[in-house]
Structure 1
Amino acid sequence: MSAEQTATTEYPIDDRRELVGWYFYDWANSTFSTTVVTVFLGPYLTSIARAAADADGMIYPLGIPVAAGSYFAYIVSLSVLLQVFFLPILGAIADYSRAKKLMLGIFAYIGAFATMGMFFLQGERYILGGSLFLIANLAFGASIVFYNAFLPEIASPDNRDRASSRGWAMGYLGGGLLLFLNLILFTNAAALGIDEGTAVRICITSAGLWWAIFTILPLIRLRTRGAIKRLPPGERYLTIGFKQLAHTFSQMRHYRQTLLFLLAYLLYNDGIQAVIALAALFGAEELGMPQGVIIQAILMVQFVAFFGALAFGWLAQRIGTKRAIMLSLVIWTVVVTYSYVMPAGVPAQFFLLAAAIAVVLGGSQALSRSLFSLMIPKGQEAEYFSIYEISERGTSWLAPLLFGLAFQMTGSYRIALISLMVFFIAGIVLLFFVNVRRAIEEVGNEAPALV
């Protein structure tokens, strides 16, 4: 044994009690994505910024002139940009110190308390709202890195797809349940004697409370495994993080199949994220859907995606993970194509489109996570999953940029949306050439019976 390592207890994998605890972190944190980011915070923070704006509609955070209507988008972009630099360093530190569980808890509660702090967002406090969201979104991304990095440790290769899919499914169920309760509160605010702004602040705060309460279960049930690396003399965790990150990027050159998969994932996931982010805009502006219909569709997506994630986990066990992901991308392409000819003003067809998206939404993301977990070296899980996370977040501007350019040139949201097909088609083509078994063998892992 190296002088820089000490042995720790090895625990069995595929332990049902531990897996259920892991699933519950998806249940805990997904409320931030649904209640806070997707539904309530954007419009509310924008209204706060507009209340503080001058006659020209401008605000001046840190002296920088910003259009009030663009403030939330800029804060989201800034939080994503910071994650690109922030997450890989944390991943390297976590792998070196074997502190994934501790860091999962720290960042989960930073995010949860920042979210609860948004209860005090009112009046003209747009700086407070932007700062709290920046902290919460950074902490959310960091906690997901450590959460994902547990997957190779607690689930065997043959059980990885099932475990990942159940985690995603639990996330959609938890996020959908709290969103349902919050929509009841929001729509009945007047009857309860509270104004709309107070109702929004209660809904946002409830997401932070939910996140904090249900994070307790994974922290109780997840176990720390592997060897704990001691810092060499004169080193600090921060410097080790930078050095380990540099080593990881250098090492990845030798794992060409893993790199090819990351490139495919970067492309098709960018398309997925763009459709999710822009579907409400498309429904409102191009199809003429009322806000109530759009919110109901978002709520429906959460519950249908629960079953979709489980269904694709089951499918991967029968046709292989790679084929199941490729099938989901074909369905994504069909959905985007249908949106081009979809008639306006027909809520039933909008709900049908949303349901089709929901079926493949959880499956494509859950199976991508489990497949990647097989392609990374043991002992570097957090490090590689931080790169996986920023491969999603660091390029998430590409598809929206194409969407925006297509609309600017044509004036049609239909053409703008169908332009996103290029990301799904390119992802399918690159994924076709990924040799999954070779990728798994290159990093020294055990391949499942069917990949």
Structure 2
Amino acid sequence: MSTTNSATHLPDDPPTAPDADPAAADTDARSLRRMQFGWYINDWANAAFSATVLTVFLGPYLTTVAKDAADAAGNVHPLGLTIRAGSFFPYTVSFSVLLSVAVMLLTGTVADRTGRHKELMCGFAYVGSLATMGMFFLGGDRYLLGGGLLVVANIAYAVSVALSYAYLPGLASPDERDKVSSKGWAYGYAGGGLLLIANLALFQGHDAFGLDSGTAVRICLASAGLWWALFTIVPMLRLPSRAGVAPTATAAPTAPAETTATAPGKPGKPGKPAAGSLRELGRTLRRMREHPLTLLYLAAFLCYNDGIQTVVSQASLYGSEELGMEQTSLVTAVLLVQVVAIGGALLLGRIAHRYGAKRTILGSLVGWVVTLALGYFMPAHQPAWFYALACMIGLVLGGSQALSRSLFSHLIPPGREAEYFSFYKVSDRGTSWMGPLVFGLAYQLTGSYRSAIISLLVFFVIGFAVLLKVPVRRAIEAVGNPVPERL
């Protein structure tokens, strides 16, 4: 049975009637579970890059490489620019994020226009994994090689993840979407955490393996690329080429979605699909204004998620500089966040099934406020308290993001999944400068990291207030999607 054909038509078919062939219904159910598992494993695969490369190993190592290449004043000169060696990694990440915004938006439009979601998703995944495996060669003073590989890998990661999000509406009915999204997020934390544990064991015991620390780090970096490439085979085999719309009890306007999602460029004119996609991107930007409630939800997500991303990225700095935590304690805390986030995503998914995604997200934002408050009053040089803070972050981290993803999937016009999720990922990645800016300004004005960490409360309070005002049911009806039983 062709995976692409059977899976592609499954989401667009109406639900099986009571007198339908039971064998056919069972085959469809097995096919859907097969697709869901492939999607879960995609999260399992790409989370290794986020956890091992971006969160733990690459920043310190690439900074060391840049410092080895620096002049007497401690500066490096990429492309004729003069920057501090210690700033090379964050500047490179920022540059890659800016580029990824443009690439995500264009690729999302191309994917919806051509119906080649899987090919583009897996293609970018393999570009990113190859660039990550190439980080094994970051020895000596090759900081420019490291920067180039980081830019390529980070852009590929962003695009691949945005395209994978577009599959969610076709993998679950509206009432099951929170559960499926939460399970996928849990798979991601499990996969990323498992490889991170193995890599930390290698790094901590590198002497026993006859390796110096630099070689151990480069092996860890390359292993994330290899992990990403190997496990991407599963979604490549199990997902359909085009992201579709899940079967529901209420008929959805799938015919227009099919037309817009698969409309090809005019035959016999090479380059027309790409040019048409650029025009289609412009039309998408204009059409989004027709759905102001979807934009209102995006604004809420942009705000509170910026706070989440800043807490995650600055927690190690807060732990080391304000709470006096040793490196071992910081690494242990990172692992705790990964492990607890698995259970947190599943737990909040179950809560959302009973009380609705919007209420559960609002509750998780209250949890973030409590977590920040406890972090502000936390005593220094007490690892046990710091581990407790890491557990609290993990508990609300996975669930709040998984449910935000599934709730947004209801607010997307059918057939525009990749385009809209590209905008969603822009909110996730492209605007993450606001939180760090507020954090930095608070520290500059007060000289206290405690003041800096508590200043992030503003993002959760504003995000909560804006999300509270989003009439989710009306927003879903406005884009023509069926409304789940609980919101």
Cα separation, 2, equivalents of 1:319 and 1:326: 11
Equivalent of residue 54 in structure 1, options 51, 63, 71: 71
Identity %: 55
Shift in Å, 1:46:
0.4
Written as runs of structure 1 = structure 2, the 5 A alignment for 1:32-431 is 32-225=49-242, 227=258, 228-232=262-266, 234=269, 236-431=272-467
Write the letter of the residue equivalent to 1:250. R
Q: Which runs of 4+ in 1 moved over 4 A?
A: none
Per the alignment, residue 10 of structure 1 pairs with 9
1:334-386 Cα shifts (integer Å, max 9, x gaps): 11111111110100000000100000000000000000000001111000000
Shift of 1:229: 1.8
Amino acid at match of 1:440: I
| Partner residue, 1:4 | none
SS in 2 for 1:253: helix
Runs of at least 5 residues in structure 1 that lack an aligned partner in the other structure = 1-6
Shift of 1:245: 1.3
How far is the alpha carbon of 1:248 from its aligned partner? Answer: 1.2
Shift of 1:444: 0.4
> What CA distance in whole angstroms lies between the structure 1 residues aligned with 2:7 and 2:332?
49
Distance in 2 (CA, whole Å) between partners of 1:257 and 1:203 is: 44
Helix, strand or coil for the counterpart of 1:267?
A: helix
Q: Distance in 2 between matches of 1:357 and 1:144?
A: 22
User: 2-side partners of 1:386 and 1:244: how far apart?
Assistant: 14
CA deviation map 1:388-444 (0-9, x unaligned):
110122210001000000000000000001000000000000000001111110000
Secondary structure in 2 aligned to 1:287?
Answer: coil
Alpha-carbon distance, 1:224 to partner: 2.9
CA distance in 2 between counterparts of 1:445 and 1:368 reads: 17
1:283-341 Cα distance to aligned partner (Å, 9 max, x none): 00000000100001101111110000000000000111000000000000111111111
Residue 94 of structure 1 aligns with an amino acid whose one-letter code is A
How far 1:198 sits from its partner (Å)? 0.3
Deviations 1:184-221 (A, max 9, x none): 11111011111000000000010000000000001111
TM-score normalised according to structure 1 size: 0.97
Distance in 2, matches of 1:237 and 1:297, equals: 48
- Structure 1: how far apart are the matches of 2:266 and 2:467? 40
Structure 2 residue runs of 5 or longer lacking an equivalent are 1-5, 12-27, 245-257
Q: Match of 2:290, SS?
A: coil
CA distance in 2, matches of 1:90, 1:270: 24
Secondary structure of the residue aligned to 1:223 is coil
Rounded to whole Å, the distance in 1 between the matches of 2:119 and 2:430 is: 25
Q: Distance in 2 between matches of 1:138 and 1:433?
A: 33
For 2:235 and 2:411, the matched residues in 1 are separated by 25
Which residue does the alignment assign to 2:43?
A: 26
Q: Which amino acid aligns with 2:263?
A: K
Q: CA RMSD in A?
A: 1.4
Equivalent pair of 2:266/2:273 in contact (CA under 8 Å): no
What's the TM-score once normalised by structure 2's chain length?
0.90
1:9 Cα deviation after fit: 5.2
Alpha-carbon shift at residue 281 of structure 1 (Å)? 0.1
CA distance in 1, matches of 2:277, 2:457: 38
Distance 2:406 2:458 in 1: 25
User: Secondary structure in 1 aligned to 2:359?
Assistant: helix
* Change in CA separation of 1:417 and 1:8 when aligned onto 2, cut-off 3 Å: closer
Partner residue, 1:3: none
SS of corresponding position for 1:375: coil
The superposition leaves residues 142-178 of structure 1 with CA deviations (integer Å, 9 ceiling, x where unpaired) of 0011100011112111110000000000000000000
In 2, distance between residues paired with 1:287 and 1:90?
Answer: 43
Given that residues 438 and 455 in structure 2 are in contact (C-alpha distance below 8 angstroms), is that contact kept between their aligned partners in structure 1? yes
What CA distance in whole angstroms lies between the structure 1 residues aligned with 2:33 and 2:149? Answer: 36
State the aligned residue count: 446
Comparing 244-253 with 369-378, which one deviates more in the overlay? Answer: 244-253
Amino acid at match of 2:240: R
The secondary structure found in structure 2 opposite 1:441 is: helix
Structure 1: distance between partners of 2:264 and 2:389: 53
> C-alpha distance in 2, partners of 1:95/1:47?
42
Deviation of 1:43 after TM superposition, in Å, equals 0.4
SS in 1 for 2:480: coil
Partner SS for 2:9 = coil
Amino acid of the residue matched to residue 355 of structure 2? I
